[in-house]
Amino acid sequence: MEKALGVLNELVRRGIIGRYAIGGAMGALFYTEPFSTFDLDIFVFIRPGDAGLISLSPLYSALSDMGYEPEGECVDIEGIPVQFLVAYNDLAVEALDESVAIKYGDTDTYVLKAEYLVAIALQTGRPKDRERVRLLRDEAPLDQQRLSTILDRFGLRKRWMEWMI
């Protein structure tokens, strides 16, 4: 994974993507016991083009120039399936803004805070997200005040209460 993160850092250096952070199941692994996951979800900021639209074409073109091609919804980067998720709503934008810098081996990277991983999983609402929320609730060092504020601000309190039964 460290090589894949190095490629992401190169994309930032080239200005292809803005800040990025690890999210999804792989992001949860930074806070919980290991479990199996398929891909590396990367939340990214991408600058809108002249018409104000966000296009992934420059990202995929840069990756192709580096020898990495799409495979379904992911791009295989150094043997790691990477799925790029443009910060798609206010919660994802805030989560990316609040991500924390970490070292993975010798490589600098970013990961979403555990409280935002919970909120995004609640918002997404799939069965596997319910399990991720449970794992994070039981194993991650959640800041309860921060989580409470996020849940209220993004209208997720009801789902949290339903899922915690």
Cα(first)–Cα(last) distance of the chain, in Å? 36
Neighbours of 43 (CB within 10 A): 27
pLDDT at 51: 73
pLDDT at site 55: 82
101-107 contacts at long range (C-beta below 8 A, 24 or more positions apart)? 102/30, 104/1, 104/2, 104/5, 105/2, 106/2, 107/2, 107/5, 107/6, 107/9
Which residues, in sequence order, are bridge partners of residue 20?
44
pTM: 0.92
Amino acid identity, position 65: D
Q: Where are the domains of the chain?
A: 2-163
Which architecture, in CATH terms, is 2-163? 2-Layer Sandwich (3.30)
> Are residues 113 and 23 in contact, defined by beta-carbon separation less than 8 angstroms?
no
The pLDDT of residue 165 is 74
**Dihedral, CA of residue 62, residue 44, residue 85 and residue 149, to nearest 10:** 180
Low-confidence residues of the chain: pLDDT under 70: 49, 52
- What is the model's pLDDT at position 164? 85
pLDDT of the residue at 28 = 92
User: What's residue 54's pLDDT?
Assistant: 81
